[in-house]
Amino acid sequence: MKKVLISTGGSGGHVIPALIIFDHLKNDCDIILVTDKRGTDFIEKNTYPYKLIDVPKIKKSILAFPKFFILFIVSIIKSFLFLKKNKIEILISTGGYMSLPLCIMSKIFKIKIILYEPNTVLGRSNKLILKYAKKIICYHDSLINFPKIYKDKILIINSLLRKEAYSLNKKLKKNKLDPIKILVLGGSQGAIFFDKMVKNLVMKIYQFGRISLTQQIFNLDKKNDLEDCYKNLNIEYKIFNYNSYLYKDLNSFDLAITRSGASALAELTFFNIPFIAIPFPHSKDNHQFFNAKFYEDKNCCWLINQDDTCLDKITHLINEAIINKNDYDIKKENLKRISYQNTWDNINKKLIDLINEN
């Protein structure tokens, strides 16, 4: 069995795909999972044993740079010692600066490097390492900022989903959205805006019809305030901060309001849930916008920019979905066309073939 190292960390957008790749390869490879401290929040150690190599978070402050530089060098040394001890044959990096030390040392040790890029924009860390990588796993073959010279390194797969997701029923078409079951996914970036915006939105749309709301919030201090508001409006609601098993309930929702991280959009697409995408406007290289634009171009979602007019636009869209479902139903059918080929076995074969490739 080949010895494979999966490097991840930072946000759930990096870590969850790493765990899915782990599950795909665990029966055919000897796998070691490495993450940073932030990544441990998304990993169940009893299910996915991991090693910790912490990488300092990049600071924009010039005063903080000397400390960052020293800690980064320490992480490179730790990566060197780790790779030397464990005799790794293949490194799979799910992106982010936290994987750079292991990627750098893998190049020195002449270890086969495989990158993973779920976004429609090539990430900066992946772009730095792409020259030395054997392959890069992508969902799209036309990535923004991707050097054409490395086009042959792209391996296209369907979106990575947890294995259990494939055994769940997808959302069936409803004659009437009554109640309309709305899921709100604020993510971790810029979620404070969502906390406030959704409260104002509910106060506008509850009069259109019955609402069932499941809302992810960033600031738990706001939970009581939101609960009081929703109780007064007499709507069904559930509030949560993070739920790693949320995908098991996705088939119960009619509509999502979401940021545009690749993993979130992949899950909504698989379960054929039309969504209103509000990309985080300060995401690196505006990748969330382009993630959502991919689906908007296929008429699978509504794309709305975060500005002073977005609340009114969302209110109008939800009202239209309740009164006239034509546009909603079209988007639902288009999502089915994208997701029907996504199976665990199809992805598994591609990943195993990639690992065994010379």
Query: For residue 188, what pLDDT band results from cuts at 50, 70 and 90?
Result: low
Do 182 and 330 lie in one domain? The reply is yes
Taking a C-beta distance cutoff of 8 angstroms, is the pair 32, 106 a contact? no
Co-location of 28 and 172 in the same domain: no
Collapsing DSSP to helix, strand or coil, 173 comes out as coil
SS3 303: strand
Asked if residue 135 and residue 91 are part of one domain, the reply reads yes
Q: Taking each helix axis as running N to C, give the angle between helix 100-108 and helix 65-86, from 0 to 180 degrees, rounded to the nearest 10.
A: 50
Same domain for 107 and 179, yes or no, is no
Q: Are 55 and 100 a contacting pair, CB within 8 Å?
A: yes
What's the one-letter identity of residue 117? E
Shared-domain flag, residues 114 and 247: no
- Residue-wise pLDDT tens digits, 59-98: 666 776 788 788 889 999 999 999 999 999 999 999 888 8
Q: pTM of the prediction?
A: 0.91
Task: Provide the number of structural domains found in the chain.
Answer: 2
Query: Which whole number is the average pLDDT over 161-180?
Result: 84
CATH of the domain at 149: 3.40.50.2000
Residue 347 sits in the same domain as residue 316 = no
Q: Within a 10 A sphere around the Cβ of 14, how many other Cβ atoms?
A: 26
**Same-domain check for residues 221 and 300:** yes
Residue-averaged pLDDT of the chain: 91
pLDDT value, residue 161: 96
Same domain, 10 and 76: yes
Residue 115 belongs to domain spanning? 2-158+343-356
Q: Is the pLDDT of residue 190 over 60?
A: no
**Residue 295 scores a pLDDT above 90:** yes
